[in-house]
Amino acid sequence: MTNAERDLDLAAVVDALCRANHGCGRSSAEPLPSPDEVIGMMEALRRVLFPGYFGWSELTPETLCYHLGHTLDQVRRTMQTQVKRGLVFAPPQADGGETDTQRRAGAITDAFVERLPQIQALVASDVQAAYEGDPAANSPDEAIFCYPGVLAVTNYRVAHGLHELGVPLLPRMITEHAHSTTGIDIHPGATIGASFFIDHGTGVVIGETCLIGDRVRIYQGVTLGAKSFPLDADGNPVKGIMRHPIIEDDVIIYSGATILGRVTIGKGSVIGGNVWLTRSVPPDSRMTVQAPRQDAFESGGGI
Amino acid sequence: MTNAERDLDLAAVVDALCRANHGCGRSSAEPLPSPDEVIGMMEALRRVLFPGYFGWSELTPETLCYHLGHTLDQVRRTMQTQVKRGLVFAPPQADGGETDTQRRAGAITDAFVERLPQIQALVASDVQAAYEGDPAANSPDEAIFCYPGVLAVTNYRVAHGLHELGVPLLPRMITEHAHSTTGIDIHPGATIGASFFIDHGTGVVIGETCLIGDRVRIYQGVTLGAKSFPLDADGNPVKGIMRHPIIEDDVIIYSGATILGRVTIGKGSVIGGNVWLTRSVPPDSRMTVQAPRQDAFESGGGI
Amino acid sequence: MTNAERDLDLAAVVDALCRANHGCGRSSAEPLPSPDEVIGMMEALRRVLFPGYFGWSELTPETLCYHLGHTLDQVRRTMQTQVKRGLVFAPPQADGGETDTQRRAGAITDAFVERLPQIQALVASDVQAAYEGDPAANSPDEAIFCYPGVLAVTNYRVAHGLHELGVPLLPRMITEHAHSTTGIDIHPGATIGASFFIDHGTGVVIGETCLIGDRVRIYQGVTLGAKSFPLDADGNPVKGIMRHPIIEDDVIIYSGATILGRVTIGKGSVIGGNVWLTRSVPPDSRMTVQAPRQDAFESGGGI
Amino acid sequence: MTNAERDLDLAAVVDALCRANHGCGRSSAEPLPSPDEVIGMMEALRRVLFPGYFGWSELTPETLCYHLGHTLDQVRRTMQTQVKRGLVFAPPQADGGETDTQRRAGAITDAFVERLPQIQALVASDVQAAYEGDPAANSPDEAIFCYPGVLAVTNYRVAHGLHELGVPLLPRMITEHAHSTTGIDIHPGATIGASFFIDHGTGVVIGETCLIGDRVRIYQGVTLGAKSFPLDADGNPVKGIMRHPIIEDDVIIYSGATILGRVTIGKGSVIGGNVWLTRSVPPDSRMTVQAPRQDAFESGGGI
Amino acid sequence: MTNAERDLDLAAVVDALCRANHGCGRSSAEPLPSPDEVIGMMEALRRVLFPGYFGWSELTPETLCYHLGHTLDQVRRTMQTQVKRGLVFAPPQADGGETDTQRRAGAITDAFVERLPQIQALVASDVQAAYEGDPAANSPDEAIFCYPGVLAVTNYRVAHGLHELGVPLLPRMITEHAHSTTGIDIHPGATIGASFFIDHGTGVVIGETCLIGDRVRIYQGVTLGAKSFPLDADGNPVKGIMRHPIIEDDVIIYSGATILGRVTIGKGSVIGGNVWLTRSVPPDSRMTVQAPRQDAFESGGGI
Amino acid sequence: MTNAERDLDLAAVVDALCRANHGCGRSSAEPLPSPDEVIGMMEALRRVLFPGYFGWSELTPETLCYHLGHTLDQVRRTMQTQVKRGLVFAPPQADGGETDTQRRAGAITDAFVERLPQIQALVASDVQAAYEGDPAANSPDEAIFCYPGVLAVTNYRVAHGLHELGVPLLPRMITEHAHSTTGIDIHPGATIGASFFIDHGTGVVIGETCLIGDRVRIYQGVTLGAKSFPLDADGNPVKGIMRHPIIEDDVIIYSGATILGRVTIGKGSVIGGNVWLTRSVPPDSRMTVQAPRQDAFESGGGI
């Protein structure tokens, strides 16, 4: 590249970009959470929750505790650092100094680690649900290894655990990583019971204030969303309102169905594919689209 | 981190996690297939199937055979190892000892390698279909490089080849990798003819027992699924039943259409966008949604 | 592996694969653009557009210019090389020799770099729109870090900048990378105004000739597609026709809506979820699906 | 590169190189030990022998066992694989089949692992000797971190452990790695007592049949070599003869000294710098070079 | 590996190793300096001191400052962290708390950065001396790229700068890395003037209290060492005594020469190869070995 | 790091460093050879010269040509690029334009590749010499895998091949890499016959104009150097004069011997350890140091 013959004033571009960013708030010297560290920590937790499936092989009962303990200790350090960075985005507390934030991050991390056995029990129930719910599944191993739904729900369960402990930003980074990998978008704030199974999953969206019971099964393209949200006096959306559906135990929702607003889908109901629902239905309902009349060709829909 | 002031009993957590997993079956010393190895093998096969596009550059006719031979020999070794690990999940056979499994894995691998020229011919037809089917495509090179549909179908063709040879788990790992990358979920058991093109593709689901002819074109969000599946006496889904659609030659299915059950879409039919179909249609059918009445605003659908 | 007992004639397979490829056009010695390099360049541009969020931390106003200048200079060299490789796919020009292509690639690169401050202003407006448009967003930082819509639109803005300068192939590689990561498929040829927000996003498709105004908001599963496209005398699709919708300022389109053809959605309109639209609507329209009757259970839709 | 204008017949070169190698013995399908794996295993052992110094940080007494156990289990698997590959070079035994070699490799590996505590005690004595023997050393930590002599002797102690168990090739790979890193060349067959310290070390050579006592200190450039070696009837060197020096306890050998042949340096002796010695000396000897007369300049010695 | 048939009690080995290490001082939770980070920092400084030779290419005067500033800012952060870790080994000071150590590390780092231009001037003089002093050198570029002496002296100059600022451990890590790479062992405490050239260099040792003038040239295998060192009442070496040679300006020392003790080699002297010197010599001395008589063959010296 | 409280003016340091370097010649936009690329190329050549030992395993006669051809084609491209960059340092030629340099680099590369079979024959003779010359060697495999002398001589043979073709800089980079790894410093300009063996090797220096016959064996610490070199009118060393020894066939030189100047060591001679020689000796000479008198202890030589 012979720059002599160029007109580009690189310094002017750099200056313009710098000026624009000075006002944008990240000129703070406080380091942000690192996406790579957070994702690496999630992968380590996956090894802990499914020992022998990811990362290690040839485990024996004798050596399992070494590998678990080793990984868990690493997770703990990484989590404390990243949680501490994330707390920059939390409402300030008491002292708020470096040492105080460090201490809070440590306490949150330890509380999370103590919950891991419960999280493990939940993901084990999810794996079993996947194996039992899909006639194409040949073994629970296949579900653990290959099922995007299992991956996304595992990430959600970890993210939800951190969310409940008041950690900002990190839970969303963890569920977005699953979203990117699977096309399944579960907000870490949602509450989901045991034995949850999402099949295929691409396009599934589960909103922040959803409340989902046990043994629920969902297919690709299902939206559990908000109908609308009220604005405050300044025209900004009011945050924190219960605006997503309640799905009771043993409900099945087939592909492409959309359920909007704080409605309740009663226990044991079945919502058919492509159904559009903005009202509550009682237990054991069977909702299906009555297929609209389909006639002569009109429009292509190609792009 | 000053651990002195902490209450966390890490050893207790490790013990709890270990105990829970002892009963979960992967305390076996048999190594599982490695996702990284399997994906790396698939990427190597992509270089073999599209020489000059991925991984190597500046190929000449004189040196092509060296690069192909080199990569194919590496693929062969990796495949044999991974197939052998996958066979742990296959029904046991005759002898079933270490040596026997090794031998079976070798035979499967060689049979697959011998089919590669046919697979190459199929993917070449898919690329041509992509170029011809999309007015936005400027060259077949662009289709090879940038089209998620081409990537997903190539992975499917390799996975299907292994599936036909009775390899467990690996085919699903290969198609799930494409699913993760493209949002296109094709079961390796599906049967798909030449010149197959999926445009955009996000949300496409093609079920295990689908039978798809030649020159079929599909758009994003199309589901070729099962209507329902019978349960056995124990309430488990019966495996292996023909439960997905048959799509004959020269069919086009536009975005968002859903076709469920063992129905047949006759040769040359066009299925319009968002059509919901649970019955067979004769050749040259034109099915479209008669747009339902659309009135005043009712619900937001935001989340 | 004891090859002695095998029948596989590896040389025959290699020969078959080589023969097949000789006629396929990539036996040219001209190197193709490298996906890894192009993606790496896009990631470097993301660091430039959002300094302090990705890749660097602890920036201060004093050191910002060094990091920006360093990265921008690297981007410039990578871009020149990759653009030059991409120009192989452009219509030939004047001289067309090595030196001429090198010079054209340099001029394009410099023109792009000079536009970066404008692109930065646009992406800043997109981030603000994301924060304001989602009640679940806690800070603009969260939008930058975690929102797939922000990632996809940033990639689009860079790709569109290169597309406007006549660069082949690279723009598509950049938007396809976002498509793979987010499930949002925006053609680099589309024209999109400021403050654009896509929420959740999986399954969104925005076609090549779309024209989108300012402050438009779109949800997951929305298609802005072509109704059909005319074929030329040879039966090939005619390229370059305006065939996708015009979306005017301040329009909101809810999840799953499909808008096809060169129709115009008037300023300030709201298109409800799952609406299927193939005609223009005037400003301030409110289009919603009148939910079809939903009765007794008929079909499952599982797969 | 336009190959058209070249004369190079690449295929002819490849053929010539292939033909030449066919007779060279490594066309066997038996895999060789992997230098990378062996070196990685040695680095893992260094972490085990010096926990907290290399690779891990922030160890606590509670978590130490997890990290040690984890690493040791990995070392064990790697070692078994590499030892098995190395056994190809050992004299054949009994059965000699795949399974038998696997079993022998497992037994050797376990025997080695059981010796690790003794090896650890020896390297701890070496570190203490380094700290005490060098006035420039500020702490044992500095010796562990920075002293090439400590690194080389640690590698030797591991290699010697494997050598004693009859492992071919691997011990030499381990000491040669230290040789490359430090310039200190200790044959794994040498026998060396506790509290051994080599300062600076570049150019030190310690031969295969050396016998070195406790608390010996050696400086850079010291050779403990063979005077000459007898040839057999075919003119090949006779292998396995005791041909290197015996250095008794508490001996110091200063830089550049050369001691050749099966001679004995008596307990507590001090061998001065540059001394050339081919005969035994009694305990407490003080050998020094009487500096030769040094006069007017004669020759440069530059290169 | 079938562990069933083994006797190895891995847990017992782990326990033995853990017990042994509990008393060894590194169970502290204070993290140690990271060799990888320190070496990476040194490599970054090499890029800063020789811009355009390592790591970056195609620098222009316009972009040089961006790359320098970027790298220097990174070096500064890394150095502050590593210096802080190193200060654990320094004598405790005043407050000694976390914040105080952080502050000291910051002050040291900034003081070092301010000295970089002087260090750069010195290494430039060294490069020129290498080019002028070796008839085999074709350009200063070759000296920068390929001469181990230039590499080792550059590392020394950086290490010495940190040593002068009272940083423990890190300087030694930096010179030991050069020692490992080149076989040249320069203690960071030595004082060396401008235009210093070491040719070939393997086996050179320069002790802690050496004082070397300007324009000195040294060849491989030269030792500038201590004659002996006094012990204190406990029999430990007394630290900090001036015990290595003073080499005045313009001295040349040929390969293999050994100079021991606090002697002075007068300005402009030439010390011949293999000379052994333990007394001072006046300016302009010419010391050479009078070759000892060499007769009939006596001893081999093979190993 | 709170920069607020700092005085460091980073910009001033950056400016000072930039100013100093502007005059230093590497502000040219011409890229330099990349050490990483050159070393990687050398490692690829080692795989080509010793197929099955490094990088590949489980080669069969059928697949050997693929791996060799693949690697050789890669080497060829890398070499052409790096040679072209190196030619910047060669005397300018004829045209000297970009295209001309490209062409020269291509011609040199092809000429080198054609010589590879001869180089392979030489390194095979070196391996055999190592196996036969060391009683501690158990197999030629051990020599290939573990002997620093074999590594250094292989690098020399490749470097010498490039040196003979007039390539600047690269040959020295290749031999310096070996020097760094082994402590053996062979100038690429030296001429060395077949079956050359260097044992242990640390500290060996072989000068630019050495002429070494067949079947020569050398031990650690041997210098084949220049006695002195004449200066030109400007006081600079005259380049290109024959100033290093001639070593005829079948000579053995034991450790620490120094031979200086254009002297000839006659065929079949044996030079004993530590001998210092500045004159020619006739064939079959036996030169040894008559050990100087060694008395009471005088000086330590510790450092």
pLDDT of A211-251, one tens digit each?
999 999 999 999 999 987 677 777 666 777 899 999 999 99
Check: CB of residue C133 under 8 Å from CB of residue A228: no
Check: CB of residue F156 under 8 Å from CB of residue F134: no
Q: pLDDT tier at B95 (50, 70, 90 boundaries)?
A: low
Q: Which positions in chain A touch C63 (Cβ < 8 Å)?
A: none
Count Cβ atoms within 10 A of the Cβ of residue B289 and give its class: 0-12 exposed, 13-18 middle, 19 or more buried.
buried
Tokens standing for A134? 């899909």
pLDDT of residue E141: 86
The pLDDT of residue D237 is above 80 = no
pLDDT of residue E28: 55
Asked if B10 is an interface residue toward chain E (Cβ–Cβ < 8 A), one would say no
Q: F196-226 burial by CB neighbour count: b if 16+ within 10 A, else e?
A: bbbbbbbbbbbbbbbbbbbbbbbbbbbbbbb
pLDDT of F200-244, one tens digit each?
999 999 999 999 999 999 999 999 999 876 777 776 667 778 999
Count Cβ atoms within 10 A of the Cβ of residue F114 and give its class: 0-12 exposed, 13-18 middle, 19 or more buried.
middle
Running DSSP on this structure, what letter comes out for residue F259? E
C-alpha–C-alpha distance, residues E19 and E206, integer Å: 39
Low-confidence ranges of chain F (pLDDT < 50): 1-5, 22-25, 27, 293, 295-303
Contact F14 C66 (CB under 8 A): yes
Q: Which positions in chain D touch E22 (Cβ < 8 Å)?
A: 61, 64
pLDDT of B22-70, one tens digit each?
434 454 557 789 999 999 999 999 999 998 888 766 677 788 889 999 9
C-alpha–C-alpha distance, residues F37 and F39, integer Å: 6
C-alpha–C-alpha distance, residues C261 and A10, integer Å: 42
Q: A83-116 burial by CB neighbour count: b if 16+ within 10 A, else e?
A: bbbbbbbbeeeeeeeeeebbbbbbbbbbbbbbbb
Per DSSP, the three-state class of D246 is strand
* Residue numbers of D between 210 and 249 with CB closer than 8 Å to F: 219, 221, 223, 225-226, 229, 236-241, 243
Element (H, E) at E59: none
C-alpha–C-alpha distance, residues F7 and E139, integer Å: 40
Pairing of strands B270-271, B252-253: parallel
pLDDT of D113-136, one tens digit each?
999 999 999 999 999 999 988 877
Element (H, E) at B115: helix B98-133
Q: Give the start-end residues of each E strand in chain F.
A: 185-186, 191-192, 197-199, 205-206, 211-212, 217-219, 223-225, 246-247, 252-253, 258-260, 264-265, 270-271, 276-277, 286-289, 294-295
C-alpha–C-alpha distance, residues D29 and D18, integer Å: 16
Contact E202 D183 (CB under 8 A): yes
Sheet holding F223-225: strands in order across? Answer: F185-186, F205-206, F223-225, F258-260, F276-277
Judged by average pLDDT, the poorest of A46-60, C12-26, D21-35, E154-168 is D21-35
The pLDDT of residue E23 is above 50 = no
Pairing of strands E294-295, F286-289: antiparallel
pLDDT of C173-221, one tens digit each?
999 999 999 999 999 999 999 999 999 999 999 999 999 999 999 999 9
* Phi (first) and psi of residue E8, to 5 degrees: -55, 125
pLDDT of E206-235, one tens digit each?
999 999 999 999 999 999 999 876 777 776
C62: which residues sit within 8 A by CB, 6+ positions away? F3, F10, F11
Rg (CA), chain D: 23
Q: Which residues pair with C246 in a beta bridge?
A: C211, C264
The whole-angstrom distance between D64's CA and the closest CA on chain A is 9
The CA-atom distances, in angstroms, between F61 and each of B63, F51, F71 are 19, 11, 16
pLDDT of C106-165, one tens digit each?
999 999 999 999 999 999 999 999 998 888 787 888 899 899 999 999 999 999 999 999
Q: Which positions in chain C touch A200 (Cβ < 8 Å)?
A: 303
pLDDT of residue C240: 74
pLDDT of residue B60: 78
The pLDDT of residue E153 is above 70 = yes
C-alpha–C-alpha distance, residues A273 and A266, integer Å: 17
Element (H, E) at D258: strand D258-260
Nearest Cα neighbor of A187 from C220, D83, F98 is: C220
Contact E10 A63 (CB under 8 A): yes
For residue B229, give the amino acid letter: F
Question: Which domains does chain C show, CATH number per domain?
Answer: 29-184 (1.10.3130.10), 203-291 (2.160.10.10)
Better-scored residue on pLDDT, A112 or A135: A112
The pLDDT of residue B302 is above 50 = no
Query: What is the residue whose two structure tokens read 């490789």?
Result: C85
The whole-angstrom distance between F219's CA and the closest CA on chain D is 11
Tokens standing for C12? 């025959």
Task: State mean pLDDT over E2-18.
Answer: 73
pLDDT of residue F32: 84
For residue D96, give the amino acid letter: G
The whole-angstrom distance between E11's CA and the closest CA on chain A is 8
Check: CB of residue B183 under 8 Å from CB of residue B137: no
The pLDDT of residue A28 is above 70 = no
Asked if E58 is an interface residue toward chain F (Cβ–Cβ < 8 A), one would say yes
DSSP letters along chain C, please?
--GGG----HHHHHHHHHHHHHTTSTTSSSPPPPHHHHHHHHHHHHHHHSTTTSS--S--HHHHHHHHHHHHHHHHHHHHHHHHHHGGGSPP-SS-SHHHHHHHHHHHHHHHHHHHHHHHHHHHHHHHHHHHH-TT---HHHHHHH-HHHHHHHHHHHHHHHHHTT--SHHHHHHHHHHHHHS-EE-TT-EE-SS-EEES-TT-EE-TT-EE-SS-EEETT-EEE-S---B-TTSPBPSS---S-EE-TT-EE-TT-EEESS-EE-TT-EE-TT-EE-S-B-TT-EEEE-PPPEES-------
Check: CB of residue B301 under 8 Å from CB of residue B283: no
- Per the prediction, chain A carries an average pLDDT of 86
Between D and E, how many residue pairs show a Cβ–Cβ distance under 8 A? 232
Rg (CA), chain F: 23
Check: CB of residue B123 under 8 Å from CB of residue B153: yes
Running DSSP on this structure, what letter comes out for residue F67? H
Q: pLDDT tier at D303 (50, 70, 90 boundaries)?
A: very low
Of B48, B80, B294, the CB nearest to C288: B294
* Residue numbers of F between 11 and 30 with CB closer than 8 Å to E: 11, 13-18, 20-22, 24-30
D123: which residues sit within 8 A by CB, 6+ positions away? D49, D50, D150, D153, D154, D157
Q: Which residues pair with D300 in a beta bridge?
A: none
- Per the prediction, chain C carries an average pLDDT of 86
D286 → chain F, closest CA residue: F297
E173: which residues sit within 8 A by CB, 6+ positions away? D145, D146, E33, E35, E38, E39
Count Cβ atoms within 10 A of the Cβ of residue F56 and give its class: 0-12 exposed, 13-18 middle, 19 or more buried.
buried
C-alpha–C-alpha distance, residues B144 and B126, integer Å: 10
The CA-atom distances, in angstroms, between D247 and each of C88, F141, F291 are 72, 32, 20
Contact E244 F35 (CB under 8 A): no
The pLDDT of residue A17 is above 70 = yes
A92: which residues sit within 8 A by CB, 6+ positions away? none
Judged by average pLDDT, the poorest of A288-292, D81-85, F95-99 is A288-292
Has the ipTM of the complex gone over 0.90? no
Tokens standing for F10? 């980073």
Interface chains of chain D (3 or more CB pairs under 8 Å):
A, B, C, E, F
